[in-house]
Amino acid sequence: MTEPSLKSGRVRLRRRHDRGAYDRASLYAVLDAMPLCHVGYVVDGQPYVTPTLQWREGDRIYWHGSAASRMLRATDGVQVCLTVSLLDGFVMARSGFHHSINYRSAMLLGKAEKVTDKDAKVRHMQRFVDGLFPGRWDMLRPATPKEMKATSILGMDIAEASVKVRAGPPGDDEEDYSLPIWAGVIPLALQTLPLAPDPRNLPGVAAPDHLTRFKIG
């Protein structure tokens, strides 16, 4: 059975079709590798792009923030664009024109909908926290109704999206390969550095596995 494509005229790549994909496996690989996303929305004709964290539950994507934030207030019930990008390297070619970057990016279009059910909000927040840090939610001081009220969660169906990926060495013009110019890639990776404990941690409280084993990407 062929899975329906996420392609539409709005997300179709206009060029470099070899770098594009419209299937859920390719899309979810990018979303699951990078919680940071950029949400685009329009207020009075002006586009805004706000960074926040996203998480996926099956075929829906969610993001959250303060109920007071411009982005959360402006995006409920409206069309948004959610983009996730990972910068994987600088591609150094033999001409300026063929310099590029290695990257993975995903662009999703859809109508954002606020989660209003109180219990559902708590479940989503647990999924978000435990998705990054398995088991953490139940170790924390429980959320209060006031805190949940101050938190907005938005979600949308993943139905219209494209993925674009570039990897590998530069693609130079054939005649340029004879030039004595160093070409190649400067690989980049977002890396986890050693944990920085809060100075106010109680004596003897150790970091749990979900932190000591945490890896991004």
Footprint of a second copy on residues 137-196 (CB under 8 A)? 137, 139-144, 147, 150-151, 169-170, 172, 176-196
Q: Is 25 in the site for a second copy (CB under 8 A)?
A: no
The phi, psi pair for 74, rounded to 5°, reads: -80, -20
CB-neighbour burial class of residue 131 (10 A; exposed 0-12, middle 13-18, buried 19+): middle
Torsions phi, psi for 121 (to 5 deg): -60, -45
Residue 1 binding a second copy, by CB under 8 A: no
The nearer residue to a second copy, 2 or 46, going by C-beta atoms, is 46
Residue type present at position 21 = A
Alpha-carbon gap, residue 16 to 12, rounded angstroms = 11
Residue in 38, 60, 114, 123 binding a second copy, rule: CB under 8 A: 38
How far is 105 from 101, CA to CA, in rounded Å? Answer: 12
Taking CB under 8 A as the criterion, the residue among 82, 115, 161, 165 binding a second copy is 82
Q: Which of 68, 117, 119, 145 binds a second copy (CB under 8 A)?
A: 68
77 near a second copy (CB under 8 A): no
Q: Is 21 in the site for a second copy (CB under 8 A)?
A: no
**Residue 6: how many other CB atoms lie within 10 Å:** 21
Residues in 83-142 at the binding interface with a second copy, rule: CB under 8 A: 83, 85, 87, 89-90, 92-97, 99, 101, 103, 105, 107, 109, 125-126, 129, 132-133, 136-137, 139-142
Task: Report which secondary-structure segment, H or E, holds 122.
Answer: helix 118-132
